[in-house]
Amino acid sequence: MVDVLLGLQWGDEGKGKIVDYLAKNYDIIARFQGGPNAGHTLYVKDKKVVLHTIPSGVFHGHIQNIIGNGVVLDPVTFKKECEEIESYGVDLKKNLFISQKTHIIIPTHRALDKASENAKGSAKIGSTLKGIGPAYMDKTGRNGIRVGDLLAPDFHAKYDALKEKHFQLLKQYDVVEDITEWEKEFFASLDKLRSMNIINAEYWLDDKLKQNKKILAEGAQGSMLDVDFGTYPYVTSSNTTVAGVCSGLGISAKYIDRVIGITKAYCTRVGGGPFPTELHDEVGEQLRATGNEFGATTGRPRRCGWIDLVALRYACMISGVDTLIMTKADVLNEFEWINVCTSYKVNGLETTEFPYNVCDAEIEPQYTEMRGWRRSLDDTKDLLTMPAELIKLIDVIENHTKARVKFVSNGVGRDQIVPI
């Protein structure tokens, strides 16, 4: 069976920590979309590690990890990540597998990302500039290079042809990018990738499923960044919702069991685009400072706001989320009052539907004000020891989303999590 774990907001919900925590219940952790735009933080022996492409189960000896065909992989980031993980004594040759069909990001993808963003002016998406959009464009445009191609004798010819195509595109942006250094790094990183277990992943996974192995599919980004259902065009270039799992791993939908969604107790977004509950005042500042809301991949300050149950309900609906995990509850410890957005006024009309025209409409979030718990959650071990105000907040979330909150995370540490 396959359980799926998804971020339900605009990313950075704490997926890395939660996958690391849940990993003990699984045999395999699988990444099915996204790429080095992701930054999943976890702690190993009290040291912070940020994973970009490699699944967050990699520090558990018994677990196998797989990078699926739906991921776009940058060999340069990948090599650095491997070296950091290997410095902890992890044997990646034993526990990491990569689909031959995973597309790779080449240096000119990054150059195109930058040129495309610059050309957008004030309508910038705020991309991580890791080459994600251009790499997925080449995938669907049928020009891409896949990990399996690295092993073929015509790899260099394929690379040169794609690079040439990209240079032509860059000319249209009036950009001449010197990629000498990027290219050096790129070619120096390829042998690392070639030395890994590059496999026919669909057959490998089918075999595991037939052996009744338990798989956790680890989402990257969040539902509101989904290319179809997010706040388009301010989104990433993959399906971050449950639909991405089958196409990003090559497994049948009939194997999907639980869909677990992660939400922060408030909301953040990094980069451009609509964010109805964003706070531009000192409350937003307080959330950023207390929650240490700075990007794990780019270091950019994250925009902060109240939890948005209109967006959350929508995200749960799209993916059929049955289990919720709330992270960063501890960040609200000091707040006397907490706001929860339960509906929007869109151009003056009240609705609980997430609107199509979210980028253009005037959206006024309608809030329910709730009392905060004003104490540390360090001693909260279960529902009995949980502050009544937090239980109330959970009730409101469950009522709106119709999903059950099963865990509340109350700190960055591996064991700072409360089952309920």
Residue 411: which of ligand IMO, ligand GDP, Mg ion, none does it interact with, CB under 5 to 8 A by kind?
ligand GDP
From Mg ion, ligand GDP, ligand IMO, none, interface partner of 270 (C-beta below 5 to 8 A by class): ligand IMO
Select the binding partner of residue 268 from ligand IMO, ligand GDP, Mg ion, none (C-beta < 5 to 8 A, by kind).
none
Nearer to ligand GDP by Cβ, of 38 and 125: the residue is 38
Q: Is 40 a catalytic residue?
A: yes
Count of chain residues binding ligand GDP (CB under 6 A): 20
Q: If you count DSSP H runs as helices and E runs as strands, how many of each does the chain have, helices first? A: 12, 20
What is the spatial distance between Cα 420 and Cα 391, in angstroms, rounded to a whole number? 10
Beta strands in 150-276 (DSSP E): 197-199, 215-218, 256-264, 267-269
Query: What's the rounded Cα separation, in Å, for the pair 327 and 330?
Result: 8
Single out the residue of 4, 18, 19, 38 in contact with ligand IMO (rule: CB under 6 A): 38
Taking CB under 6 A as the binding criterion, the range among 62-70, 124-132, 150-158, 315-323 that sits at the site for ligand IMO is: 124-132
Binding mask 254-273 for ligand IMO (x = CB under 6 A): ----------------xx--
Give the separation between CA 114 and CA 121, rounded to whole angstroms: 12
By the 8 A CB rule, do 6 and 261 touch? yes
- Which residue of 92, 150, 296, 340 would you call a contact of Mg ion, by CB under 5 A? 296
- Catalytic entry in 3, 20, 40, 109: 40
Is the CB of residue 129 less than 8 Å from the CB of residue 114? yes
Neighbouring C-beta atoms of residue 327, cutoff 10 Å: 26
User: Considering the complex, what minimum distance in angstroms separates the CB of residue 183 from ligand GDP?
Assistant: 29
- Residue 327's identity, in one-letter code, is T
* Active-site residue, 12 included: yes
CA distance 127 to 166: 19
Residue type, 270: V
Six token digits for residue 297: 């991949």
Contacting range for ligand IMO; rule: CB under 6 A; set: 195-203, 221-229, 284-292, 411-419: 221-229
* Burial classification of residue 177, based on how many CB atoms lie within 10 Å of its CB (0-12 exposed, 13-18 middle, 19 or more buried): middle
One-letter identity of residue 293: E
* Interacting residue with ligand IMO among 221, 239, 263, 410 (CB under 6 A): 221
Q: Does 14 bind ligand GDP (CB under 6 A)?
A: yes
- The radius of gyration of the chain from alpha carbons, rounded to an integer in Å, stands at 21
For 197, 279, 282, 304, the CA distances from 313, given in Å and listed in that order, are 39, 21, 27, 19
Nearer to ligand GDP, 126 or 411 (CB): 411
Q: How far is the CB of 100 from Mg ion (least distance, A)?
A: 27
Near ligand IMO by CB under 6 A: residue from 37, 65, 95, 380 = 37
Cα separation, 339 vs 342, in Å, equals 9
Assess 39 for contact with ligand GDP (CB under 6 A). Answer: yes
Residues making contact with Mg ion (CB under 5 A): 12, 39, 296
Residues annotated as part of the active site: 12, 40
Residues making contact with ligand IMO (CB under 6 A): 7, 10-12, 34, 37-40, 125-128, 130, 132-133, 220-222, 225, 236, 270-271, 296
